[in-house]
């Protein structure tokens, strides 16, 4: 059984890496077209990662070496395990374990924590500034993101006769009617998409790595394979987060029929298109504005969605 789960984790890593590379490449291609450029080839993210893996790794003189080099592995481990859990649940929702949503919330914050740890470990003032911005973002968007997830849990719990403990399973949520069919689900879906935009470090929330301001920010001291791992982690998150959102709110992907697969893929594409649209239509915001937005309108909207969900709306 342990070998089975290990192999599933490896499979989850491979699928999310391949899917993330394709989604990232399409995102860059579409963005280029919007800006009236030809853009890079679809597989450019793969070429970038391979190029970084064959380059030399430079470690700052005054840094704690094992912390600096270990930070990227923390983020990669988190997103790889999250990928395995989500993909396993989609394929076999009946074997999901209690509380897997809580575990996923922890795992999906690990890439951001890895960036923060690596930035402060580098002892570079620009990297530390980027790390502090990332820390403020995490503290800001996690609250509304958790509230949006709570709406899906409440919706599944009500459908299963008030069994909210069982509703902490992704598999239980998949068996309930899609949360987005209710007003509370629509509001929570919008909040989750905006929080996911910040989790991915995409415009308008690419504050921690703002190239025009911080020259790469939190990752300025990274090079070679460690930087490649950070880039690969971000690419995998671009694949996993939309998948997590459609599982929570849109019924996920059903492999029982061909139409279920097609509908699931269309739902996934729809969420990715939202990410691309927001990225190409919104200017970068300041970190204080981002914090005020997530602790203000986004959190209030999340609380309203939770209240509506408890009322059955």
Render 103-161 in DSSP notation, one character per residue. HHHHHHHHHHHHHHHHHHHTT-HHHHHHHHHHHHHHHHHHHHHHHHHHHHHHHHHHHTT
Alpha helix ranges (H) inside the chain:
2-34, 44-53, 65-91, 100-121, 125-159, 170-175, 183-199, 211-214, 224-249, 258-281, 287-293, 299-310
List the pLDDT tens digit at each of the 313 positions of the chain.
Answer: 556 667 777 887 888 889 989 988 888 888 888 778 888 888 889 999 999 999 988 888 888 888 889 999 999 999 988 888 888 888 777 766 666 788 888 999 999 999 999 888 888 888 888 888 889 889 999 999 999 999 988 888 777 666 677 778 887 888 888 888 889 999 999 999 999 998 888 888 887 776 655 566 778 888 889 999 999 999 999 999 999 999 888 888 877 777 878 888 888 888 888 888 888 888 888 888 888 999 999 999 999 999 999 887 7
Say if residues 231 and 48 touch (Cβ distance below 8 Å): yes
The pTM of the full predicted model, rounded to 2 decimals, is: 0.90
pLDDT (0 to 100) of residue 3: 65
pLDDT (0 to 100) of residue 170: 83
């Amino acid at each position: 059984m342990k070998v089975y789960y290990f192999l599933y984790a490896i499979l989850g890593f491979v699928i999310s890496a391949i899917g993330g590379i394709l989604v990232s490449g399409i995102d860059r291609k579409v963005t280029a077209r919007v800006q009236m450029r030809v853009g890079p080839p679809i597989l450019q993210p793969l070429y970038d990662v391979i190029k970084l893996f064959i380059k030399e790794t430079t470690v700052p003189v005054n840094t704690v070496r094992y912390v600096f080099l270990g930070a990227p592995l923390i983020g990669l481990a988190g997103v790889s395990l999250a990928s395995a859990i989500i993909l396993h649940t989609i394929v076999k929702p009946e074997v999901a374990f209690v509380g897997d949503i809580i575990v996923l919330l922890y795992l999906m914050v690990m890439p951001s924590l890895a960036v923060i740890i690596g930035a402060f470990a580098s002892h570079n003032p620009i990297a530390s500034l980027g790390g502090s911005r990332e820390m403020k973002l995490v503290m800001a968007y996690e609250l509304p993101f958790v509230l949006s997830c709570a709406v899906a849990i409440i919706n599944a719990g009500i459908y299963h006769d008030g069994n909210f403990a069982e509703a902490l399973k992704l598999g239980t949520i998949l068996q309930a009617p899609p949360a987005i069919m209710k007003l509370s689900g629509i509001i929570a879906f919008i909040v989750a998409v905006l929080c996911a935009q910040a989790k991915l470090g995409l415009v308008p929330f690419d504050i921690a790595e703002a190239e025009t301001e911080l020259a790469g920010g939190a990752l300025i001291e990274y090079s070679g394979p460690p930087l490649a791992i950070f880039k690969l982690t971000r690419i995998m998150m671009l694949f996993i987060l939309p998948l997590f959102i459609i599982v929570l709110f849109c019924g996920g992907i059903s492999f029982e029929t061909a139409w279920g697969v097609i509908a699931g893929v269309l739902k996934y594409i729809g969420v990715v298109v939202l990410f691309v649209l927001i990225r190409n239509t919104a200017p970068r915001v300041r970190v204080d504005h981002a914090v005020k937005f997530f602790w203000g309108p986004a959190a209030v909207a999340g609380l309203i969605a939770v209240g509506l969900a408890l009322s059955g709306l």
